[in-house]
Amino acid sequence: MMQKAIDISIEGHLASMKAAKPGMTEYEIEAVMEIHLQTPRRLEDVGYPSIVGSEYNACILHYVSNRKTTENKDLVLADCGAEYQNYTADITRTFPVSGRYTNEQRVIYNIVLEAQDSGIVACRAGNGFKEPHNRAMSVVQKRLMELEIIKKPEEARWYFNHGTSHYLGLDVHDAGTGGNLKVNSVITVEPGIYIPAGSPCAEKWWNTGVRIEDDILITDSDPVNLSGKLPRKAEEIEKLMQTTTTP
Ligand code: GLY
Ligand code: MN
Ligand code: MN
């Protein structure tokens, strides 16, 4: 059931990335997504209110008003998942509405991707629940220090201000077994970096909000990314966005 919810969600994310263009409102991008999550053939519901935030709004956790009109340079953070037979997906992608990341956006994007890769590797049975978070956070700390966005590792919390994982299942933030990770649990791995305007760093980084979120099955060997069919790399997303369709 969860894989089905995830597969439907992947179609929604693909459709909204292909349809997005500057001048669309956040809610229009949300609408393209939700049409694909809820066609009559497989109608159920969204697993949680869709988050579609551009520019400054991408830096607001659980932003759901989705009212802004996008502009050329905006990043769009889309955190949307379908529900199927009461199970939910939970997937985030962050894309440039123009189809091309600016240099600064690409730098931040690639740090979040590296953090996510490090977190996913740590999704192994027997590891502590916080191990993916600790790995992802240490990548963000190191890279933000290198860019002089922060001066001390602890300051990374200003820009990566949430945990990396939660259990996923009947609820988007599902009850879990707690303790060490167990075979057949599904958890999210969703690091983010959010630098709203006014942050104490160079202005060129302002209003960059990036999260990448996938749904990871813990097995008795390697972790399985159940949402891994949806492109994650910046270049793959840019390529996908050049395939435009009419919503
Ligand atoms: N969609 C809510 C979350 O990622 O936790
Ligand atoms: Mn999540
Ligand atoms: Mn999410």
Task: Give mean pLDDT, residues 107-113.
Answer: 98
Is residue 244's pLDDT more than 90?
no
Break the chain into its structural domains and give their ranges.
2-241
Choose the residue to mutate in 79, 162, 227 for probing ligand 1, maximizing ligand atoms within 8 Å of C-beta: 79
- Average of per-residue pLDDT values in the chain: 95
Q: Which CATH number fits domain 2-241: 3.90.1410.10, 3.30.460.80, 3.90.660.10, 3.90.230.10?
A: 3.90.230.10
Return the C-alpha torsion angle 191, 194, 200, 202, nearest 10: 100
Nearest alpha carbon, ligand 1 atom 3: 90
For residue 13, give both structure tokens: 């994310």
Query: What is residue 144's predicted lDDT score, i.e. its pLDDT?
Result: 98
Pairing of strands 91-96, 75-80: antiparallel
User: Residues 6 or more apart from 242 whose CB is under 8 A from it?
Assistant: 99
Query: What is residue 42's predicted lDDT score, i.e. its pLDDT?
Result: 62
CA 244 – ligand 1 centroid, Å: 27
Higher local confidence (pLDDT), 16 or 45: 16
Query: What is residue 190's predicted lDDT score, i.e. its pLDDT?
Result: 98
Question: Which of 79, 81, 56, 80 is closest to 69 using CA atoms?
Answer: 56
Tell me the pTM: 0.96
